[in-house]
């Protein structure tokens, strides 16, 4: 059994997209960025040329904020002063959840840092009204939850040279500016504690951060191009071009389970080249031979999601057995996959025996009902099995 099905390229597109907003105050992984969309305008705005690309290590752009609704206004980054430019919106749940954390950092560092929350609301009164409201989560006034400078950027001129220029598509997003006026770090404010600490202490490896950021940016661009190739392949059934694109991407950016699975999917379900697909699957298995969950996912995709004529049950059984061995035959979900392999091979009694073992190891997992129901289905067929 596998909760997450075998990956296809549809899942790849999610790598570069922003997660749907959730409102959780503590863990950065639980506070994803909210997709940043420009408000719809009644009057069409003048199309501006693209801003100068912004990377970590570059000089921070000029700040052209018109409305400073809380804290002192300023026009340029001072030498020796560390800044945090945080882009947010009143309607963004994760932004609101991040505010106490930003305030705690401002309290902790005092004058060593200046945090500026920049909103691009069209009407500054939206922000001032927001500051006066009480947050329902903690019953604190937002003005007290934002113990740092707050500015409004209605024409998005500052957002444009920071957010758009660095290809950031979700909020909240923070930019740490070091004492030399350089962008030192870009990311979610809930994840910036360690970088900020090192920037303030003067130990931050700016060169390494800049290199990593440019590599990530290049990979995102390549991923975008890859998605175009995939869409074309879907329209034209030209899967050879898609497979070539996967190989080129992997050669440039290294192997990944996502790309490996995408290639297997293309060979098996798109090209229907069973021989080539399972030759590649054997190659994949070598790389995950000690990863029980990855092996289980691959096996389950074959026995549960693949048409019968494209299944290689011997291969699925081999990797499901290896996954079971790695977990000492005690993982009920993996045993469920092993049983399914025998079931698809027509070995009813072995399927039932392994499914019974899977049930014996069930705890409070939400999959209990499904595994038990499967056992009952297998047993129900015994009435039709010749003695």
Residues of the chain with confidence (pLDDT) below 70:
1-46, 366-367, 384-387
Residue 1 has what pLDDT? 62
Q: Report DSSP state, residue 328.
A: T
Residue 155 has what pLDDT? 93
Report the distance separating Cα 346 and Cα 339, nearest Å: 11
Q: Under CATH, what is the fold of the domain 291-387?
A: 1.25.40
Residue 40 has what pLDDT? 46
Q: Name the nearest CA neighbour of 230 among 272, 262, 273.
A: 262
Report the distance separating Cα 33 and Cα 105, nearest Å: 19
Q: For 142-195, how does the pLDDT look when each residue is reduced to its tens digit (9 = 90+)?
A: 999 999 999 999 999 999 999 999 999 899 999 999 999 999 999 999 999 999
What stretches of 137-291 show up as alpha helix (H) in DSSP? 142-145, 157-159, 193-201, 206-236, 239-253, 257-265, 274-287
Report the distance separating Cα 76 and Cα 53, nearest Å: 20
* Contacts for 124-133: CB closer than 8 Å, 24+ residues apart: 124/67, 124/69, 124/152, 124/154, 126/90, 127/69, 127/90, 127/152, 128/69, 130/90, 131/69, 131/70
Instruction: Give yes or no on whether 49-204 and 291-387 have one common fold.
Output: no
Residue 207 has what pLDDT? 97
Residue 257 has what pLDDT? 92
Residue 75 has what pLDDT? 84
Report the distance separating Cα 170 and Cα 37, nearest Å: 8
Q: Name the nearest CA neighbour of 253 among 223, 211, 283.
A: 223
Mode of pairing for the β-strands spanning 34-35 and 149-152: unpaired
Per-position DSSP letters for 338-383, written without gaps between them: HHHHHHHTT-HHHHHHHHHHHHHT--S-TTHHHHHHHHHHHHHGGG
Report the distance separating Cα 35 and Cα 170, nearest Å: 4
User: Which CATH code is given to the segment(s) 49-204?
Assistant: 3.40.30.10
Write down the pTM of the prediction: 0.65
Residue 137 has what pLDDT? 85
CA angle, 183 as apex, 179 and 187 as ends, to 5°?
Answer: 125
What does the domain layout of the chain look like in residue ranges?
49-204, 291-387
Residue 364 has what pLDDT? 75
Name residue 176's beta-bridge partners.
Answer: 84, 185
């Amino acid at each position: 059994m596998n909760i997450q099905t075998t990956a296809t390229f549809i899942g790849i597109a999610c790598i570069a997209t922003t997660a749907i907003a959730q409102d959780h105050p503590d863990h950065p992984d639980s506070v994803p960025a909210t997709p940043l969309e420009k408000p719809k305008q009644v009057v069409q705005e003048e199309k501006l040329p693209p801003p100068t690309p912004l990377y970590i290590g570059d000089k921070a752009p000029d700040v052209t904020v018109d409305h400073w609704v809380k804290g002192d206004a300023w026009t340029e980054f001072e030498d020796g002063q560390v800044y945090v430019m945080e882009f947010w919106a009143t309607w963004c749940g994760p932004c609101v959840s991040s505010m106490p954390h930003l305030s705690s950092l401002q309290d902790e560092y005092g004058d060593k840092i200046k945090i500026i929350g920049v909103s691009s609301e069209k009407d500054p009164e939206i922000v001032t009204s927001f500051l006066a409201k009480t947050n329902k989560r903690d019953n604190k006034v937002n003005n007290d939850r934002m113990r740092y400078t707050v500015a409004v950027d209605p024409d998005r001129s500052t957002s444009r040279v920071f957010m758009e220029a660095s290809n950031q598509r979700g909020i909240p997003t923070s930019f740490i500016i070091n004492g030399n006026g350089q962008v030192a770090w870009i990311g979610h404010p809930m994840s910036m504690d360690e970088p900020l600490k090192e920037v303030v202490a003067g130990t931050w490896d700016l060169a390494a951060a800049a290199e990593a950021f440019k590599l990530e940016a290049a990979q995102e661009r390549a991923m975008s191009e890859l998605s175009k190739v995939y869409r074309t392949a879907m329209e034209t059934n030209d899967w050879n071009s898609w497979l070539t694109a996967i190989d080129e991407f992997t050669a440039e950016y290294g192997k990944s389970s996502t790309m490996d699975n995408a290639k297997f999917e293309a060979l098996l379900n798109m090209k229907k080249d069973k021989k080539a697909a399972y030759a590649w699957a054997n190659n994949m298995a070598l790389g995950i031979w000690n990863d029980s969950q990855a092996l289980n996912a691959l096996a389950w995709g074959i026995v549960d999601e693949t048409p019968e004529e494209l299944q290689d049950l011997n291969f699925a059984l081999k990797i499901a057995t290896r996954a079971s061995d790695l977990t000492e035959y005690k993982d009920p979900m993996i045993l469920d996959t092993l049983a399914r392999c025998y079931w698809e091979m027509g070995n009813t009694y072995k399927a039932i025996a392994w499914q019974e073992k899977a049930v014996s190891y069930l705890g409070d997992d939400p999959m209990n009902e499904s595994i038990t129901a499967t056992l009952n289905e297998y047993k129900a067929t015994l009435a039709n099995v010749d003695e």
